[in-house]
A and B are shown apart, each in its own frame.
Chain A
């Protein structure tokens, strides 16, 4: 713990116990309803349409915004921060109107840009304290929260050194810390894993997961990599060319499919033939291995598989309900 004392005893009293997990802390209004709602948002720059008739609801928790470069992710973030008026349509963020309540929104929202945004000649501590003040925090609270937040993102002794000497991973942590330091209710993270090595990427994703699920701060995180969002997002929004492609909860998208994966040690073709004869829908892989999938048309199917395998006396390596993969979203979209 930093030696800083809380600004006032009253403020300290309302803070939740540091040693307990803070999934739903007191003092913060319980999340209710969607954190972001856009309705028919269109943004054009001259002849270029960045966003086209985008209507989407994003729940609280961790929301992944997926799209290729130039899909309109950054334009949407600017509109949500109240910095860019939409050409038509409206957006509400935490119940506030993005077109008219920009200042109020920016008080309760944190933003981590994709680009470099750190001056090299100051230390992380000084910089984050400064930006906490720029969010309206009194000096004492700014110092205390900067120390706390930097610790949370995993910067310890190095936070007293000038940022110029930091690695990319450390810089990303500072960028994340400045977005969290004023205790926002929602953070907008633009490509936070950009430029990180695999280990750094894992660290960052784990941090984002904790922000959403343990700190109780809603997260909108953009990425062009669906795979990494699959691990942390509760909800995924896919946009392409400024057009909404898909908005779905991750649980739904990766729900159990109606297919059983079966792998046997030998004589797979005989097993498949018998199952087909029994009326099961079987799909085999072309590689000639012992792996095939069976559609779960009724409850008898699993019993039939077991019976067939036992009857033929082959070894059953696995029989597994398959999960949908989030990347299938893209295949569907592509069709």
Chain B
């Protein structure tokens, strides 16, 4: 397939590097690398937010990032998937008629890996852009600050929900294979997903707000783990003190300051499932109402903090 024409039929593979020519060099020398204009479609904010959201979900799991960033999220996903797999297998083999762990209990039982996952994901979603000064590049594009925050938050919450929902789904599949009552299992599984959604939203907003104030590498991870662990410790300490004083109903309220116990309490109140911590289970309607108010207030407070941070800090 040899053409009679001279070899350089198309543009050269490597055009002359710009600027290497002397000032006298005429424009007609570099005619082979003309700039192509774009006449195609330009989408609006909806597409931009969606793309940023997808980018966040992918990035949280290390997709499209260096190999070392994939290790932590996938190890944690493995840790979260292993117990449900074992439980499902044991129920299948031993032929039990009940799962040893309810769907909502799963969230409380695997608090630590979930906390570590949030601690890894939230700083990726926001601290990185703040640390490296990328915000001006977003703000100079056809979107507004709120779009950026909502897309990052949405991506993080979806990733967290996926990490919580997947093991519960595995549990449900195992239960159905073991021929446990289909209706009960599906209702329990749906309840688990609802609790997962509530927890993912709360952890996402709290984690993102903390991460947005700790742009330094590693600091965000440490801050989120520390705060979530301390909050759990304090909530149990408060409940324990109240119990010692004989104030059983107040002891329940200690759970309201810990995201995991807060969502567990909401699940108990709304769905009527068993609590992860039976001694502090929500029993009264006013306790449930207070938990719901606390949940809404926490979302509003940390969401507001996040927005405030971006109004102030993400300057061009």
* Residues in B whose Cβ lies below 8 Å from that of A7: 40
Cβ of A81 within 8 Å of any chain B Cβ, yes or no, is yes
CB distance from A209 to the nearest CB of B (A): 9
* Residues in A whose Cβ lies below 8 Å from that of B42: 107, 135-137, 182
* Residues in A whose Cβ lies below 8 Å from that of B139: 81, 83
Interchain CB contact under 8 A, A204 and B35: no
Complex: chain A residue closest to B68, CB-CB: A121
Stretch at the interface among B11-19, B85-93, B176-184, B289-297: B11-19
Complex: chain A residue closest to B21, CB-CB: A206
Q: Tally inter-chain residue pairs, CB-CB below 8 A.
A: 174
Interchain CB contact under 8 A, B36 and A134: no
Interchain CB contact under 8 A, A156 and B14: yes
Binary contact track B127-144/A, C-beta < 8 Å → 1, others 0? 011001110111111111
Cβ of B109 within 8 Å of any chain A Cβ, yes or no, is no
Cβ of B187 within 8 Å of any chain A Cβ, yes or no, is no
Chain A, interface size: which category? 35 or more
Question: A258 CA to B37 CA in the complex, in Å?
Answer: 43
* Residues in B whose Cβ lies below 8 Å from that of A138: 40-41, 43, 47
CB distance from A82 to the nearest CB of B (A): 10
* Residues in B whose Cβ lies below 8 Å from that of A121: 65-66, 69, 128
Cβ of A119 within 8 Å of any chain B Cβ, yes or no, is yes
Cβ of B64 within 8 Å of any chain A Cβ, yes or no, is yes
Cβ of B51 within 8 Å of any chain A Cβ, yes or no, is yes
Binary contact track B151-184/A, C-beta < 8 Å → 1, others 0? 0000000000000000000000000000000000
Stretch at the interface among B24-32, B232-240, B274-282: B24-32
Complex: chain A residue closest to B137, CB-CB: A117
Chain B, interface size: which category? 35 or more
* Residues in A whose Cβ lies below 8 Å from that of B137: 111, 113, 117, 131, 134, 178
Complex: chain A residue closest to B69, CB-CB: A121
* Residues in B whose Cβ lies below 8 Å from that of A145: 38
Cβ of A270 within 8 Å of any chain B Cβ, yes or no, is no
Among candidates B10, B37, B142, B144, residue contacting A1 with C-beta atoms closer than 8 Å: B10
Cβ of B52 within 8 Å of any chain A Cβ, yes or no, is yes
B101-140 with Cβ < 8 A to chain A? 128-129, 132-134, 136-140
Most interface-central of B14, B33, B36, B47 (chain A CB within 10 A): B36
Interchain CB contact under 8 A, A135 and B142: yes
Cβ of B55 within 8 Å of any chain A Cβ, yes or no, is yes
* Residues in B whose Cβ lies below 8 Å from that of A215: 35
Interchain CB contact under 8 A, A21 and B31: yes
* Residues in B whose Cβ lies below 8 Å from that of A77: 316
Question: A207 CA to B15 CA in the complex, in Å?
Answer: 14
Question: A151 CA to B30 CA in the complex, in Å?
Answer: 13
Name 21 A/B residue pairs within 8 A (Cβ), A-sorted: A1-B11, A20-B34, A22-B36, A28-B37, A115-B136, A117-B136, A119-B128, A121-B66, A122-B65, A126-B64, A130-B51, A131-B137, A133-B51, A134-B52, A134-B141, A136-B48, A141-B40, A178-B137, A202-B19, A213-B27, A216-B35
Residues of B within 8 A of A (CB): 10-11, 14-15, 17-21, 23, 27-28, 30-45, 47-48, 51-52, 55, 64-66, 69, 128-129, 132-134, 136-144, 316
